[in-house]
Chains A and B, each alone.
Chain A
Amino acid sequence: KAGVTQTPRYLIKTRGQQVTLSCSPISGHRSVSWYQQTPGQGLQFLFEYFSETQRNKGNFPGRFSGRQFSNSRSEMNVSTLELGDSALYLCASSLQGGADNEQFFGPGTRLTVL
């Protein structure tokens, strides 16, 4: 069974640009969560999607958005990039997203904003 895949693995952008990251969950998984990982803030929850609906959202500005498609693949978008957006963006999938559903993480997309 293939794991969670994220594309691209590395991205370099400049301030003010926008970026779209992609996540393909494990087959059969319908919940996809996104996290931002930085050395200073650790793993911060961005949002969670299930059946194309956002069910929960973390404390990030509106520049961070996401969506999920009918095949459960998900994308997240960051507009008007800032230097502080440089981070590893992780996607995790689970069957239903419930409290005891194991989350499987992808390898992440490393975004560098210059």
Chain B
Amino acid sequence: GENVEQHPSTLSVQEGDSAVIKCTYSDSASNYFPWYKQELGKGPQLIIDIRSNVGEKKDQRIAVTLNKTAKHFSLHITETQPEDSAVYFCAAKTGGFKTIFGAGTRLFVKA
């Protein structure tokens, strides 16, 4: 069935360093890949997304890359700040109106 694997489950970085989270999806029909940030007590919030016809997208300190052949996509956060500490989820969506989420990565940014 459809599956999204996400690594690592926990990531600890020093403030100012970069953080990279990687995901792999199984359904080759997936064509939309959003990334969400979830802070304590809140629902997930979309931070960046990429469509299958694009290889890379950047928004200030956040970038996402997609390799359709390998079915990999990654989130890159540069110049991390303490407020980046949260749980990050990758997801994959097909035209079937169903979004499959990765298990999440807990990011700690140490000041």
Contacts and interface: CB of A to CB of B under 8 A. Distances in A.
A90 B43 CA distance: 7
Contacts of B89: 42-43
A48 B98 contact: yes
B107 to A, nearest CB: 15
Contacts of A100: 32, 49, 51
Contact of A102 (B31, B46, B104): B46
A58 B46 CA distance: 21
B51 A97 contact: no
A11 B92 CA distance: 30
A98 interface: yes
Given A100-B32, A102-B34, A107 B99 contact: no
A55 interface: yes
A99 B31 contact: yes
Given A42-B103, A99-B31, A100-B32, A56 B98 contact: yes
A4 interface: yes
B97 A98 contact: yes
B42 A99 contact: no
A4 B94 CA distance: 23
Nearest to A44: B101
Contacts of A42: 89, 101-104
B97 A58 contact: no
Nearest to A3: B43
Given A4-B43, A99-B31, 17 more contacts: A33-B97, A33-B99, A42-B103, A42-B104, A45-B98, A45-B99, A45-B100, A45-B101, A59-B1, A99-B93, A103-B34, A105-B36, A106-B43, A107-B41, A107-B42, A107-B43, A108-B43
Going nearest first, the 9 A-B pairs with the smallest beta carbon separation are A105-B43, A43-B101, A99-B32, A42-B103, A56-B98, A56-B97, A97-B97, A48-B97, A105-B44
6 contacts: A31-B97, A43-B104, A55-B97, A92-B43, A99-B31, A105-B36
